[in-house]
Amino acid sequence: MIGAAERYARAEQHSRHPLTARFAQLQRFELDPFQFAGCHALEDGRSVLVAAPTGAGKTIVGEFAIHLAMLEPPGGARPAKAFYTTPMKALSNQKFRELVDVYGRDEVGLLTGDVSINADARILVMTTEVLRNMLYAGSAALRGLRFVIMDEVHYLADRFRGAVWEEVIIHLPAEVRLVSLSATVSNAEEFGDWLDTVRGDTEVIVSEVRPVPLEQHVLVRGDLLPLFDDRAGVATAQVNQELMRLRSVKGPAFESNRRAQQLRSAVETTHRRPHRGGRRPVRPSNVRRIERLDRPDVVRLLERASLLPAIFFIFSRAGCDGAVQQVRRAGVRLTTAEERAEIRALVDECTRMLRDEDLAVLGYWEWRENLERGVAAHHAGLLPAFKEVVEDLFQRKLVKAVFATETLALGINMPARTVVLEKLEKFNGEARVAITAGEYTQLTGRAGRRGIDVEGHAVIQWTEGLDPQAVAALASRRTYPLNSSFRPTYNMAVNLIDGFGRGRAREILESSFAQFQADRAVVGLARQVKDAETSLAGYEKAMSCDRGDFADYSRLRRELSELEKLNRADRTASAKTRKRRQDDIQSLRRRLQRHSCHGCPDREAHARWAERYWRLRRQTDKLRRQIEARTGTVARVFDRVVDVLAALGYVEVDEGGGARLTAAGATMRRIYGERDLLVAEALRCGTWRELDPPALAALACCLVYEPRRDESGPGEHGLPRGPFRVALSRTQDLWARLDDLERDHHLPGSEPVATGLAQAMSSWARGAALDRVLDEADLAAGDFVRWAKQTIDLLDQLSLVAEPALAATARRALESVRRGIVAYSSV
């Protein structure tokens, strides 16, 4: 029961925020305080940063922004719009479907690079890269934009793609309100301060309260032991002493543990050796080898304890697929006959557009049977359509156990009652490393379904050498820092120079979160310079004179005034010096009298504006010097990028350091991706002019494909023949020259062109069967589709910027790749 004072306070808030109150009434759950706070900020006209745990309901605030936009009447030249951006196409697809259910297909569109649906809709869901490209291109779709929701904004820490988030935040029009939704990060206030600096009035709302409490367990053989002492709780991180005894027990001291008898029995059964007194002490080495339950047994245990549905996080794709097979071989079935029939009907409907021969290659029938048992794998190697089916069935509570890699934790709406972590370490591409506190929070954040579960459950399986204290530390630290990964790229540089000029571009980069973190003061100074430039432009306009250049006239007046002041103040100057000054003063007076503006009747009014102009100009120049004296790391990298572009002829730099784009630079404006400079050079040199569509598709694939660390190239015999090899050789030579040039300018360079998927992409573009292509690629279907779609993205860019003949080839290549499983989309 809430008291009268709190009821009055809520009523008062509702009266001040009627739109929020009405929106809240439409929701299935009563809004939490942080959700109300976010909606109130938006209704008051502010931007907002919401940092809250996974599953807490941050997206409600974003949905309220869409609601506000849609309240405006649709008529008029610029109907109000809202953009919802996500870091991944899968998230965009999911959000698109959710918003269509609310607003209908006519009002919602989807843009993900390879998919464009209803692009003129008032609500557009897109990947963040798409919005960045729209901003640089000055897209007409930006007209009427009121709100941008950036879901999973903490992705700006991603070292490969994070810069895109900062580019969008910096370049969005000032009138657009920004809704930033983040996982709980330890420096949310710092990030919010930066947003407030570059976007204006931004409210920071941080919540660390999970809507569904999380119970932490360690699975030791058949027992779920609490991680924390029930009497102490998570806040004190007091570890369950029973777990500590399991780790550190020596000899008979372990006998008092309630698991000792079972462990002793297991050991004696194994060794079959009698012991004096009939008792065998359990040595530490035996304790560390506590046998793990097989996966089928863990699933059955969770089923008996009513802890399904569950997500098992296994940090390898092979492990996920193997787990499903283990459960299948053990005969586990988690569904009723009615559920199995429903699963079969849904799966068949969702995959009906795929050809039977492709379904056979993809192992469809076994996959469907596993789904009917209520179990599934979820990882990047799965065909996207298959992953979406798994997600849909899990949300419908038809699939009860999903074995997934950590990619599932990145924002997809798949909450479970229980999350199981088999290990607390993963392979990062170079070595096995412990997961971080942030990763632990992200993974276990899937446990607990709001409105369904009273509590969520995180289960850690006991492994040899497990340290309960370390697990408790992971579980207790629920935050991690958000650090910028921003760095200037060639495409970014030419777009900034084209839109703002080199000097202004440097100031924009000084406003990045990367620079903010390096030196927080620089951002504030850069904002002052930006505001001052707006005022200077206004003053310059106000002092303009129809008789001539009043700025030049005012400069002469200032020189005269300063020289007269100096002459009066300096009584110690020699007669020769005073004579020279007097001559200069007389010369300036004559020049003033002869100036065309001297006889203007509004001369003194203009002069007052000129005085304000020069006073602010002095202050601005001082600010610029302060900025230059600080770290300026991002701007210095930008200068190196510009130097490379100038050396190659993409920009021309004048004597004053200013830069303008050449025709080649204008082409680069529309080339996005890690290989922007290499692509632009290849186009300018005509390197790919002789390629047919399959060969061009194969070469485009070489530019986007990132091989596994242990993957070696296919060698000459494994590559497409004919003009492809000539073009590839020239492209590799281009890359080597560019890499040397970049390193000469103290830039990091890039990875060599990767040819591992060239033959498979060429075969696919020539119409080869799926089984042959996957065999040539040595990739899972989902991986091949991912690289094929990135190849399509690059081919699409080529079709827009290349010379007409190559552009036509690129369009045909694109269509030849976009077929079969690559073309299929359940959206």
Enter the tokens of residue 58: 């941050």
- Residue 31 is given by DSSP the state P
pLDDT computed for residue 170 by the predictor = 92
CB 126 within 8 A of CB 84: yes
Distance CA 764, CA 817 (A): 7
Q: Work out whether the CA dihedral 518, 524, 525, 530 comes out positive or negative.
A: positive
β-pairing, 651-653 vs 456-461, is unpaired
Distance CA 242, CA 256 (A): 10
Distance CA 656, CA 642 (A): 14
pLDDT in tens, 786-805: 999 999 999 999 999 999 99
Model confidence band, residue 274 (pLDDT cutoffs 50, 70, 90): very low
The residue that leads in pLDDT, 371 or 657, is 371
Q: How confident is the model over 665-685, as a mean pLDDT?
A: 94
**What kind and span of H or E run contains 508?**
helix 502-510
Residue 704: how many other CB atoms lie within 10 Å: 22
DSSP string, 203-251: EEEE----SS-EEEEEEETTEEEESB-TTT-GGGT-B-HHHHHHHH--G
Which of 458, 482, 449 is closest to 193 using CA atoms? 482
pLDDT in tens, 93-123: 889 999 999 999 999 999 987 778 998 999 9
Model confidence band, residue 713 (pLDDT cutoffs 50, 70, 90): low
pLDDT computed for residue 259 by the predictor = 43
Question: Cα–Cα distances in Å, from 591 out to 329, 578, 586, 596?
Answer: 99, 20, 9, 10
Model confidence band, residue 344 (pLDDT cutoffs 50, 70, 90): very high
Query: In the chain, pLDDT over 70 holds for what percent of residues?
Result: 88
Distance CA 230, CA 592 (A): 87
Q: How confident is the model over 418-436, as a mean pLDDT?
A: 81
Distance CA 827, CA 824 (A): 9
Residue 304: how many other CB atoms lie within 10 Å: 9
Distance CA 410, CA 310 (A): 17
pLDDT computed for residue 10 by the predictor = 61
Residue 404 β-bridge partners? 313, 378
pLDDT computed for residue 712 by the predictor = 62
* Mean pLDDT over each residue of the chain, to the nearest integer: 85
pLDDT computed for residue 265 by the predictor = 43
pLDDT computed for residue 460 by the predictor = 92
Omega into 309 within 30° of 0, i.e. cis? yes
- Residue 806 is given by DSSP the state H
Model confidence band, residue 714 (pLDDT cutoffs 50, 70, 90): low
Q: How confident is the model over 32-50, as a mean pLDDT?
A: 94
Query: In the chain, pLDDT over 90 holds for what percent of residues?
Result: 45
Tell me: pLDDT of 262 over 50.
no
Amino acid at 677: L
CB 207 within 8 A of CB 51: yes
Tell me: pLDDT of 288 over 50.
no
Tell me: pLDDT of 272 over 80.
no
Distance CA 458, CA 454 (A): 14
Amino acid at 749: G
**Cα 536 from chain centroid (whole Å):** 37
Distance CA 454, CA 213 (A): 7
Among the residue ranges 157-161, 331-335, 763-767, the one predicted with the least confidence is 157-161
Tell me: pLDDT of 251 over 70.
no
pLDDT computed for residue 142 by the predictor = 93
Torsion of CA 435, 438, 444, 448, to 10 degrees: 180
Q: With helix as H, strand as E and coil as C, how does 248-298 read?
A: HCCHHHHHHCCCHHHHHHHHHHHHCCCCHHHCCCCCHHHHHCCCCCCHHHH
Helix, strand, coil percent content, the chain, rounded in steps of 5:
55, 10, 35
pLDDT computed for residue 281 by the predictor = 38
Enter the tokens of residue 544: 């303009």
pLDDT in tens, 472-511: 887 776 567 888 888 899 999 999 999 899 988 998 888 8
Model confidence band, residue 626 (pLDDT cutoffs 50, 70, 90): confident
pTM over 0.85: no
Tell me: pLDDT of 228 over 50.
yes
Q: Of 170-184, 503-517, 604-618, 690-704, which has the strongest mean pLDDT?
A: 690-704
Enter the tokens of residue 438: 């942030």
Tell me: pLDDT of 239 over 50.
yes
How many CA atoms lie within 13 Å of 629's alpha carbon, on the beta-carbon side? 8
Name, in order, each residue with C-beta under 8 angstroms of 708's C-beta and a sequence gap of 6 or more: none
Model confidence band, residue 710 (pLDDT cutoffs 50, 70, 90): low
DSSP three-state, residue 824: coil
pLDDT computed for residue 702 by the predictor = 96
Name, in order, each residue with C-beta under 8 angstroms of 143's C-beta and a sequence gap of 6 or more: 78
